[in-house]
Structure formats: structure tokens, C-alpha cells
Structure 1
Amino acid sequence: MKTELDALLTALYVYLDDHVMPSRGRPRGRGRPPVLTSAEAVEVAVAQVLLRCDQERYWLRVASARIGHLFPRLPSQAVYNRQLRELGPQMSAAALWLARQVPTWHEPPRLMDGTPVRCGASRVTVNRSSLGEIAGYGMDKSHHAFYWGAKLMLITTADGAVTAFSLACPKELDERKQALHLLHVTPIAPGPCPIVCDKGFAGAGCP
């Protein structure tokens, strides 16, 4: 497992450094250089997911033991969080690259679903959260309750590798409209493929 993870992270770094965020020839700003380059920060985040460590604070404590041979120095929690927030597009590119490496990428079926993501439970959070541009009040049908947050849309391969995702305001976009938007802007498969989903996506114009 360790050897396979090392090989995957090395290949991911080469892809990111060559095609997504090349560091060669990029002028460096003033001050000390960052502990991790942008490509390395994405790699550390990917390793966290692959090693199934859900808690960020716990992850930085154990990362030295798990991937310390690849990253001898790791940033503080605050620096790591700030760096990841600035790398949203690069994280998406890394996720799509990883999906294309699994064998099921070339198999036609895709799975699609949407799930509520609760982002806050207090009026203070609703008024001050930076998620206010995409979050809203919606109905969580699974739990028969209203919530304030976003709708996470996922399209995956048959074994669960994410090929496309997005966050939508549950108040403004229904699942079908968001699914159509995802299918138009994101390549989810090498070619045409059937999509397995629930009845919430049914409607005129759905593929």
C-alpha cells in the first residue's frame, strides 16, 4: 500500500507540475518561500483522502509518520488551510486526473446523486458566512427537515471515483437543472454513457 501510494503521489505531482501549476520560471514574491509548493499542498490533501483521515487537525499530526518520507516539512494548520482554500481549481483538476486513472473510467455506466450539505444552524452563521453566495434554505427529504446549506451534486464511476461535482443553492436550482449544467461543462466519461440516478432527476431534456 505504501509503495502504491508513493507511486500515485509521484505521478500526480508530475502531472500537476507539468500541466496544471508549473513552477518553473514563475517569479517568487517577497519573504520566505512556502513550506509546500502548490502542487505539494494538493498532494498532501489527496493523501489525506486516500488514507481516510477525515479530521484535518489529526491529519497534520499523523502525516509525518504516513508521508514524511515524501514531505519532510509540513506547514502549520493555519497555513495549510489557507493554502488549500486558494487551490480550488487545482484540486478539481487533481480529482479529475485521479478519476481517469481508475479502470472504471473507461466503462460506460455513471452514477449520479445529490445530497444536502448543512453549513450552519444559527442566524449568526447565516448572516456572516462566506458561503452565503451559494448556500440557502432547502428541504432535506431524507431527514424530513429544513436546513441552511448547499446541495452537493456528484457524478461517479461504478466504483465511486468522482468524475464531476458541484455545489448549488438548494433554493434556486433543483437537482435536474444542476445535473444538466454539470453534464454540459464537465467531461464525465471518454464518450457517451448511461447514467444511473433516482427519480429526482427525471424531466424533459435530461439525457
Structure 2
Amino acid sequence: MVLQALLGHTSEARWLRYTRCHLRHLFPYVPKQPGYNKRLRRLGATIGWLVGMLARNTTLWTDDAWVADSTPVKCARSREAVRRSDLAGWAEYGYCASHSRFRWGLRLHLLGTLHGLPVGFALTGAKADERHPLLGIFETDPEPTVGRSGRS
């Protein structure tokens, strides 16, 4: 997965094909796509922890200003797909002003440094205001605020 990101492959299927053709000598076993996806999902928490540890060891972490932004994450288009979705009850309809339309899905909130280093994130329903998830980010992981002026 790390090599996939470093080489700029955004499609997992294409990445696995590329790996089988060109990188077989580096990977004695290349799983099929369902197995690869299962491994990535199981490693989600570990990857989050690793990115946090690497970020905290950079000079960008000590930036004086952080920025927050959010973006809609569309989960379904048709009413039929909305009713069948496993996200029913968690995802919701919300208005996206930048696209001038309603969407059914979630909202990804990101907190980062001015240089683009992610500090924290939250995934909420589509109607969520940006301020409340940011407080939740700091409640879930108070580590980013430790040692910063005005915070403990």
C-alpha cells in the first residue's frame, strides 16, 4: 500500500496488475483484489497511528496555525441505493453549497497545517457543522494540542 501511494497508483486493480507484471521479484505473493482490500481494512488503525507518529516527528507539526476544511463524500445516487445501503441511518442528505445540490452521504472534516500535513480528521453525517467535529477530533486524540501555547 505504501509503494502504491508513492508510485501514484490510485486504482487498486491497476496497482495489483502492475505489481504482478513489474514487481513480482519484490512480492513473492500478490493477493487478488478482495484479499488486498481485506488487508487494507484490517490495517486502518495501524496506518492511522503510523501516519500520526511520522507527522509528529516533522518540523511541520509545530506550525503556529492550523486550518480546517470539509468536503462532501457522496455515498449513493438513487433512492433505491440509499435504501439498500449499509450506511442507512448514519449517512444523511445534506446540501453542498459548492456544487449547489443535495447529496446523500457523509462529510469528511480535515484539520491540517498550512503546509498540508494532516493533523486529524472526522467523518460525520452530511449536515454536520464544521465546528463540532473539530472539537471531537481533539477529544478523541488530545496529543496534537499537548505542549502548544494556550492548550494542555
Please state which band the TM-score falls in when normalised by the shorter chain.
0.7 to 0.9
Following superposition, the deviation at residue 68 of structure 1 comes to 5.2
Distance 1:130 1:193, change over 3 A: farther
d(CA) in 2 for partners of 1:58, 1:124: 30
- The CA deviation string for residues 45-92 of structure 1, in whole angstroms up to 9 with x for no partner, is x33223322111111122357765653322110111122223332232
**Counterpart residue number, 1:87:** 43
CA contact (8 A) 2:138 2:145 kept: no
**Counterpart residue number, 1:138:** 94
2:137 counterpart letter in structure 1? L
**Counterpart residue number, 1:185:** 140
1:159 counterpart letter in structure 2? H
Give me the identity figure in percent: 37
CA contact (8 A) 1:150 1:169 kept: yes
2:48 counterpart letter in structure 1? S
Long gaps (5+) in structure 2: none
Following superposition, the deviation at residue 189 of structure 1 comes to 5.2
1:179 counterpart letter in structure 2? L
Following superposition, the deviation at residue 107 of structure 1 comes to 2.5
CA contact (8 A) 1:134 1:167 kept: no
Tell me how large the CA RMSD over aligned residues is: 2.4
Correspondence 1:75 to 2:28: no
**Counterpart residue number, 1:175:** 130
d(CA) in 1 for partners of 2:20, 2:122: 32
**Counterpart residue number, 2:13:** 57
Larger proportion of helix:
1
Larger proportion of strand:
2
d(CA) in 2 for partners of 1:190, 1:109: 15
CA contact (8 A) 1:117 1:149 kept: yes
2:83 pairs with one of 112, 127, 134: 127
d(CA) in 1 for partners of 2:22, 2:122: 30
2:140 counterpart letter in structure 1? V
TM-score by length of 1: 0.63
**Counterpart residue number, 2:112:** 156
**Counterpart residue number, 1:18:** none
Distance 1:103 1:109, change over 3 A: same
Long gaps (5+) in structure 1: 1-43, 195-207
d(CA) in 1 for partners of 2:115, 2:24: 29
**Counterpart residue number, 1:97:** 53
TM-score by length of 2: 0.82
1:84 counterpart letter in structure 2? L
Moved more, 126-135 or 161-170: 126-135
CA contact (8 A) 2:94 2:102 kept: yes
Find the residue that maps to 2:144 and give its secondary structure: coil
Distance 1:47 1:155, change over 3 A: farther
Find the residue that maps to 2:88 and give its secondary structure: helix
